[in-house]
A and B are shown apart, each in its own frame.
Chain A
């Protein structure tokens, strides 16, 4: 029976290259993951301060849209009608949600749905469509436009 430590040592030495590379790769992955979580936290903090600034500004002045309330609009998407509900508060777009998208292909629509947040941030529909989901994007944008027109027309709801 050979000394197990000697066997282990021989194994480690014969495969030293493998173990060195494994340690290196683990270190790189750890650094990237660590950086990523740090950057994510920083970005989150950034977004929070920005949101606070926006909030402070909005409580001072009234936004571009005439009537407060909740408005619905519809438009043609890729495979049917897309309906969006827009909430206006103090003249600002507070939230956009899609209430009906029965005709859309789910995978593409999931891409386009991120537009609702973009519209809230931009306070309007003058934003780029999502590449790869152009028709679903156009459906959302036009539906939101229809809802915003209702707000500016004095509010029918």
Chain B
């Protein structure tokens, strides 16, 4: 498509330097008003759909996280007591979620997990507080990326700790203080017999959630640690096509709650929670899922050099791409995940 457009430009043989050629040369952002409106419309739509999906899962399956992670604890408890591992309900839910994550990425974390949704709600509600403290907005202090990436390693320690306690068989004695117990008590509307330490832990986590987006998910969640060790099909990872990025635009990383760059190496680290904020925030729609590169690469580089000669800044064509935050795609993933939870819980 871009190829035909470029031939048309050259065929017309417009002289360089005129207003006409400036318009053509800048046709990446042609009709800026429409483009801007389109972008905003898309962002608001996606944001609305994301909140709807998150609330739907929060109301329907508030215990999915706990039930699936119980499968992990069950495995390690059985290992510790030399007992056989049977395919219990928890374990089948766990296996289903792991398989889902291998295929679609950590969509569960981004859209379905009750704790993640709680984090998003707390973060959204605390926005005025952060504004007052000048922690948001222009020139705000943000946690340095290096510190954030280092803190993300804490969750592996949490996972190892919980697994070790399960193997030793003393997890049931200490689990009373886990913030999850308090949260489960609130969602189940029965607060009897829950230790005050559990509420204190939940409160501490919620304070963190108010100041760092997805605080629990990226720093503490042991299930997230397991997810990030899974192989996610490369086709389901967000990917940035850098050729037409505006210089100095860092929107994708700025809007990322876990602060990774939509580049291949970073995404394969497993931290991506597939929330799609990078794709939503991109002014050029450069961040997509599944760019099937390698297929049209040669053609792409040919076209790029051709375009460079014709002195027009146009996006070189690449392989077919699936946009990651399409509403339909999100709803399909949510439907599959909801079906799994419904069948296995």
Chain A residues within 8 Å of B, Cβ to Cβ: 7, 10-11, 14-15, 17-22, 24-25, 32, 35-37, 39-40, 42-43
Q: Does B268 belong to the interface (CB within 8 Å)?
A: yes
Q: Are A36 and B231 in contact (CB under 8 A)?
A: no
The residues of B that contact A18 with a CB separation of less than 8 Å are 231-234, 268
Q: Spot the interface stretch: B78-86, B127-135, B151-159.
A: B78-86
A35 adjacent to B229 (CB under 8 Å) = no
- B102 / chain A contacts, CB cutoff of 8 Å: 25
Q: Indicate whether B10 reaches chain A with its CB closer than 8 angstroms.
A: no
Nearest chain B CB to A3 CB, angstrom units: 13
Are A40 and B84 in contact, CB atoms less than 8 angstroms apart? yes
7 closest cross-chain pairs (CB), A and B: A17-B268, A21-B231, A40-B84, A39-B84, A36-B85, A22-B231, A18-B231
Interface residues on B, range: 20 to 34
Q: Which residue of A lies closest to B267 (CB)?
A: A17
Q: How far is the CA of A26 from the CA of B23 in the complex (A)?
A: 55
Give the distance to chain A from B94, nearest Cβ to Cβ, in Å: 11
Does residue B264 face the partner (Cβ distance < 8 Å to A)? yes
* Inter-chain contacts of B84 with A (CB < 8 A): 36-37, 39-40, 42-43
Contact across chains for A15 and B229 when beta carbons are under 8 A apart:
no
- The smallest beta-carbon distance between B6 and chain A, in angstroms, is 25
| Pair A11/B294 contact, Cβ less than 8 Å | yes
Q: How far is the CA of A11 from the CA of B297 in the complex (A)?
A: 13
6 A/B residue pairs, CB under 8 Å, sorted by A: A7-B294, A18-B268, A21-B270, A25-B230, A35-B79, A39-B83
Q: Given A11-B294, A17-B268, A18-B268, does the pair A42, B231 have CB atoms closer than 8 Å?
A: no
Asked if B166 is an interface residue, CB under 8 A from chain A, the answer is: no
Known: A18-B231, A25-B231. A39 touches B294 (CB 8 A): no
Is B217 close to A, CB under 8 A? no
**Residues of B contacting A21 in the complex (Cβ-Cβ under 8 angstroms):** 229-231, 270
From residue 100 to 129 of chain B, which have CB atoms closer than 8 A to chain A? 102
Among A11, A25, A32, the residue within 8 A (CB) of B75 is A32
For A39, the closest partner residue in chain B by CB is: B84
Bound-complex Cα distance A39 to B269 (A): 34
Q: How far is the CA of A25 from the CA of B292 in the complex (A)?
A: 25
- Closest-by-CB residue of B relative to A37 is B84
The docked-state distance in angstroms from the alpha carbon of A21 to that of B237 is 15
Which chain A residue has the least Cβ–Cβ distance from B75?
A: A32
With a cutoff of 8 Å between Cβ atoms, the chain A residues found around residue B85 in the complex are: 32, 35-36, 39
B98, closest chain A residue (CB): A25
Chain B: CB-nearest residue to A43: B84
Separation of A11 and B295 alpha carbons in the complex (Å):
11
CB distance from B167 to the nearest CB of A (A): 12
> Cβ of B82: which chain A residues have Cβ within 8 Å of it?
39, 42
How far, in whole Å, are A40 and B79 apart by their CA atoms in the complex? 12
Are A19 and B83 in contact (CB-based, < 8 A)? no
- Do B231 and A19 touch (CB < 8 A)? yes
B294 / chain A contacts, CB cutoff of 8 Å: 7, 10-11
In the assembled complex, the Cα of A17 lies from the Cα of B269 at a distance in Å of 8
Interface mask (B223-239 → A, CB under 8 Å = 1, otherwise 0): 00000011111100000
Docked pose: A134 CA to B82 CA in angstroms = 30
B95 closest partner in A (C-beta): A29
A24 interface neighbour in B83, B229, B232, B264, Cβ under 8 Å: B229
Q: A39-B84, A43-B83 are in contact. List 15 more A-B contacts (CB 8 A).
A: A7-B294, A11-B294, A14-B234, A15-B234, A15-B268, A17-B265, A18-B231, A18-B234, A19-B231, A20-B231, A21-B229, A21-B270, A25-B229, A25-B231, A42-B82
